[in-house]
Amino acid sequence: MTLAGLAASVPQHGTNAINELLAGVKPDFVPVWVVPLTAIGIAIGITLAFVSVIAMFGTWLERKVAGHIQCRYGPMRVGWHGWLQPIADGVKLLLKEDMVPLGADRVLYVLAPAIVLASVLAAMAAYPLAPGFFFADIDLGIFFILAMTSTTTIGVVMAGWSSNSKWSLYGAMREAAQVVAYEIPLGISLLVPIMVAGSFNLLEVSRGQTGLWGMSWYVWPWVNPFMLPAFVLFFIAILAETKRAPFDLPEAESELVAGFMTEYSGIRWSFFFMEEYAAMFLYSVVGAFFFFGGFESPLTHFAAKFAGDGSVLYQVAAGGTLIVKGFAGVFLMMWLRWTLPRVRIDQVMTLGYKYLTPLALVCVLGAGLWEVFLAPHLPWRQYLP
């Protein structure tokens, strides 16, 4: 087995488009092992660029949404409606002085933003850009995403502890407690669509919901009535997992300055923000896959009908659909952030352990009973995939 197989996390049922493309154009004098290594390099490059663009657009969108909710415009000066603002910000952040506070644990302080960003970049490996274009068609895709994003906590705790500041440490402690509490309802609420789909694989879950013009999306009550409550629980849990308001306790600016990133500045600080927006987008895409039909949309239907399943047009339509669905989720999260007040930390803990976890378990039980006893006898069963 080569390193390429390793990086793509072994079982691959689909084709690795980049690998095949490269193998096709490889001159004879180049050794075989160069191909997978180059493919890995290109895949990492695409992922990095994708995450950067998502994060840049995310920061712009956040400021516009915040502005319009508060009856102002938000950034307007740089470009049309300020769309170049993220680039100006990026240049500013790159030029800022790189500071390490006195008494900080230097090694961990430098390492922490890298771990935080690496976790979400690794999770992005399982994100399929289009039905026929992905880096790794992992059989346990959603499990991989949850595992990789869960390592963010360690980076955040590392940042908080190594900063040698009480605000940072408070933020880190809150983050650790909060993420451990909300990982449980997040995983359990995702079990409901996983049970109905019978697969962990994102592409297969998406395939299971196509047809019927969106009537077979898992979120609809006629597929399984426990799906909608499961989605609500999932959405609350991802708000807490991505440290978004009303659960932004780790960085609560009115009490902890900026929480775990109080002491960070410049490009290291921007790593935390890239992680936040990339994680928001990734979780929204997971929600789109497991509840809202994945690649399915009228656009994808037309592209499949007029240009065929294998065409580039279909791939672009499907990938674009997914991005739109992802940003719809991100918009919802921003809307909530600028509408709801922040809750207290004890309320966060109570909600996670005492309400969300039992409710998620009830959802799983109910969905399982429905699937076993009622679903085979439903009159509209034949129309569902």
Partner 1 sequence: MNEGALQRIFYAALGLLALLACGAGLAAAGGSGLAFALFAAMTLGGSVMCIWERSVVRSAFALMATFTGVAGLFLLLEADFLAMAQILIYVGGILALLLFAVMLTPPDLGERKLTRILAGTLLVGGPALVLGVQVARTANWFVRGAPLDGRAQGEFGSAERIGVGFLAADQYVVAFELAAVVLTVALVAAVYIARRKKADLEPDAGREGN
Nearest alpha carbon to residue 317 among 333, 296, 336? 296
Residue pair 315/132 in contact by the 8 Å Cβ criterion: yes
Q: How far is the CB of 151 from partner 1 (least distance, A)?
A: 5
How many residues touch partner 1 under the rule CB under 8 A: the total is: 36
CB closer to partner 1 out of 146 and 318: 146
User: Does position 121 bind partner 1 by CB under 8 A?
Assistant: no
Contact region with partner 1 (CB under 8 A), list: 177-185, 209-217, 227-235, 288-296: 177-185
User: Does position 143 bind partner 1 by CB under 8 A?
Assistant: yes
Helix (H, G, I), strand (E, B) or coil at 130: strand
Which residue in 26, 139, 313, 332 binds partner 1 (CB under 8 A)? 139
User: Does position 19 bind partner 1 by CB under 8 A?
Assistant: no
Ranges of H-type helices in the chain: 3-7, 17-25, 34-69, 85-95, 106-124, 141-150, 152-162, 166-197, 202-207, 227-241, 253-256, 266-291, 298-307, 312-337, 345-350, 357-369
- The residue with tokens 């040698």 is 164
User: Does position 159 bind partner 1 by CB under 8 A?
Assistant: no
* Dihedral angle sign, alpha carbons of residues 33, 142, 111, 52: positive
- Here the tokens at position 308 are 């065929």
User: Does position 161 bind partner 1 by CB under 8 A?
Assistant: yes
x/- letters, 53..92, toward partner 1 (CB under 8 A): ----------------------------------------
Among residue numbers 185 through 204, which ones bind partner 1 (CB under 8 A)?
A: 199-200
Residue pair 129/319 in contact by the 8 Å Cβ criterion: yes
Which residue in 54, 55, 104, 173 binds partner 1 (CB under 8 A)? 173
CB closer to partner 1 out of 183 and 276: 183
Which residue in 108, 257, 299, 361 binds partner 1 (CB under 8 A)? 108
Residue pair 226/367 in contact by the 8 Å Cβ criterion: yes
Q: Give the C-alpha separation, 213 to 379, whole Å.
A: 19
User: Does position 168 bind partner 1 by CB under 8 A?
Assistant: no
User: Does position 157 bind partner 1 by CB under 8 A?
Assistant: yes
User: Does position 148 bind partner 1 by CB under 8 A?
Assistant: yes
- Here the tokens at position 39 are 């493919």
- Residue 293 — left, alpha, or beta (φ > 0 → left; ψ -120 to 50 → alpha)? left
Q: How far is the CB of 352 from partner 1 (least distance, A)?
A: 14
Among residue numbers 255 through 314, which ones bind partner 1 (CB under 8 A)?
A: none
Residue pair 384/221 in contact by the 8 Å Cβ criterion: no
Q: Binding residues for partner 1, per CB under 8 A? A: 1-3, 6, 9-13, 33, 105, 108, 138-140, 143-144, 146-148, 150-151, 153-154, 157-158, 161, 169, 173, 176-177, 179-180, 183, 199-200
